[in-house]
A and B are shown apart, each in its own frame.
Chain A
Amino acid sequence: MKRIAVIGTIYKYLSHVQHIADRFLVGYPHEGAWHRPDMKVVSLYIDQKPEGDLSSQRAAEFGFSVYPTIAEALRCGGEKLAVDAVLIIAEHGDYPRNEKGQILYPRYEFFKACTEVFEKDGRAVPIYNDKHLSWSFEKAKWMVAESKRLKFPMLAGSSLPVTWRLPELELPLGCEIEEALMVGNGGSDPMDYHALEAMQCMIERRKRGETGVRSVEMIEGAAVWKAGADGRWSNQLLQSALSRSDTPQGYSFEDGRTQDLATNGQLPKLVKNPAAYFITHNDGLKTTLLMLTGAVQDFNFAARIKGAGVKSCQFLLTPVPNVTYSACLVNNIEHMFETGRAAYPVERTLLVSGMLESCLTSRLQGSKVLETPHLSVRYQAPKVSVTPA
Chain B
Amino acid sequence: MQAFRNISRRELLGAAGIASTGLAQAQTRSSRPKIAAVSTTFFKYSHTQHIVDRFLEGYGWNGEFHHPPMDLVSLYVDQVGSRDLSRDRARRFPGMKIYPTISETLTLGTGKLAVDGVVVVGEHGDYQRNEMGQTQYPRYQFFQEIFKVFRASGRAVPIFNDKHLSWKWDWAKEIYDTSKELKFPLMAGSSLPVTWRTPSVEMPRDARCSEALCVCYGGVDSYDFHGLETIQCMVERRKGGETGVKSVTAYRGDAFWKAYGESVWPHDLMEAALCRSHTLTPAREGFNDILPTMADMQRLVKDPVAYRYEHNDGLKSTMLLMSGLVKDFNFAARLDSGIFSTQMYLPMPDGRTTLATFFSPLVNGMEQMFLTGKATYPVERTLLTTGLTEAGVKSLFLKGARVETPHLGISYRATKESTFQRS
A385 at the A/B interface (Cβ < 8 Å)? no
Q: Mark B208-250, 1 if CB is under 8 A from A, else 0.
A: 0000000000000000000000000000000000000000000
Do B59 and A322 have beta carbons less than 8 Å apart?
Answer: no
B63 at the A/B interface (Cβ < 8 Å)? yes
Chain B neighbourhood of A247, CB < 8 A = 352-355
Chain A neighbourhood of B353, CB < 8 A = 246-247, 297
Which residue of chain A has the shortest Cβ distance to B359 in the bound complex?
Answer: A258
Chain A neighbourhood of B278, CB < 8 A = 318-319, 322, 324
Chain B neighbourhood of A388, CB < 8 A = 198-199
Do B53 and A258 have beta carbons less than 8 Å apart?
Answer: yes
The SS class assigned to the A binding surface is: loop
Among B53, B62, B201, B354, point to the contact of A249 (Cβ < 8 A).
B354
Q: How far is the CB of A178 from chain B (nearest CB, A)?
A: 15
- Number of A residues contacting the other chain (C-beta, 8 Å)? 57
A32 at the A/B interface (Cβ < 8 Å)? yes
B423 at the A/B interface (Cβ < 8 Å)? yes
Among B44, B65, B291, B339, point to the contact of A256 (Cβ < 8 A).
B44
Chain B neighbourhood of A32, CB < 8 A = 272, 275-276, 332, 339-342
Chain A neighbourhood of B289, CB < 8 A = 19, 22-23, 28-29, 321-324, 327
Among A243, A248, A262, point to the contact of B63 (Cβ < 8 A).
A243
Do A316 and B422 have beta carbons less than 8 Å apart?
Answer: no
Which residue of chain A has the shortest Cβ distance to B55 in the bound complex?
Answer: A258
A27 at the A/B interface (Cβ < 8 Å)? yes
Q: How far is the CB of A69 from chain B (nearest CB, A)?
A: 26
Using a CB-CB cutoff of 8 Å, which residues 147-185 of chain A contact chain B? 164, 166-168
Chain B neighbourhood of A34, CB < 8 A = 271, 275, 291
Do B288 and A255 have beta carbons less than 8 Å apart?
Answer: no
A248 to B353, CA, bound (A): 8
Looking at chain B, what size class is its interface with the partner chain?
35 or more
Which residue of chain B has the shortest Cβ distance to A54 in the bound complex?
Answer: B286
B279 at the A/B interface (Cβ < 8 Å)? yes
A26 at the A/B interface (Cβ < 8 Å)? yes
Chain A neighbourhood of B109, CB < 8 A = none
Chain B neighbourhood of A166, CB < 8 A = 196, 345
Among A19, A26, A167, A254, point to the contact of B200 (Cβ < 8 A).
A167
Q: Mark B276-314, 1 if CB is under 8 A from A, else 0.
A: 111110100011111100000000000000000000000
Among A242, A312, A316, A319, point to the contact of B279 (Cβ < 8 A).
A319
B54 at the A/B interface (Cβ < 8 Å)? yes
Do B199 and A389 have beta carbons less than 8 Å apart?
Answer: yes
Q: How far is the CB of B347 from chain A (nearest CB, A)?
A: 4
Using a CB-CB cutoff of 8 Å, which residues 255-269 of chain A contact chain B? 255-260, 262-263
Do B339 and A258 have beta carbons less than 8 Å apart?
Answer: no
Do A322 and B279 have beta carbons less than 8 Å apart?
Answer: yes
A254 to B43, CA, bound (A): 11
Which residue of chain A has the shortest Cβ distance to B273 in the bound complex?
Answer: A32
Chain A neighbourhood of B49, CB < 8 A = 255-257
Query: Measuring CB to CB, which residues of chain A are less than 8 angstroms from any residue of chain B?
Result: 13-14, 18-19, 22-23, 26-30, 32-34, 54, 57, 164, 166-168, 239-240, 242-249, 252-260, 262-263, 297, 302, 310-312, 316, 318-324, 327, 388-389
Interface pairs (27), CB distance under 8 Å? A22-B287, A22-B288, A26-B287, A28-B289, A32-B272, A33-B275, A164-B198, A164-B200, A167-B421, A240-B64, A243-B60, A243-B65, A246-B354, A247-B354, A248-B354, A255-B49, A256-B44, A256-B49, A256-B85, A256-B355, A256-B356, A258-B57, A260-B57, A297-B352, A316-B198, A320-B288, A321-B288
Query: Measuring CB to CB, which residues of chain B are less than 8 angstroms from any residue of chain A?
Result: 44-45, 49-50, 53-54, 57-66, 85, 88, 196, 198-201, 271-272, 274-280, 282, 286-291, 332, 339-342, 345, 347, 349, 352-357, 421-423
In addition to A164-B200, A256-B53, 12 A-B residue pairs with Cβ atoms within 8 Å of each other are A30-B275, A32-B332, A32-B340, A242-B60, A253-B354, A255-B85, A260-B65, A319-B279, A321-B282, A322-B279, A322-B289, A388-B199
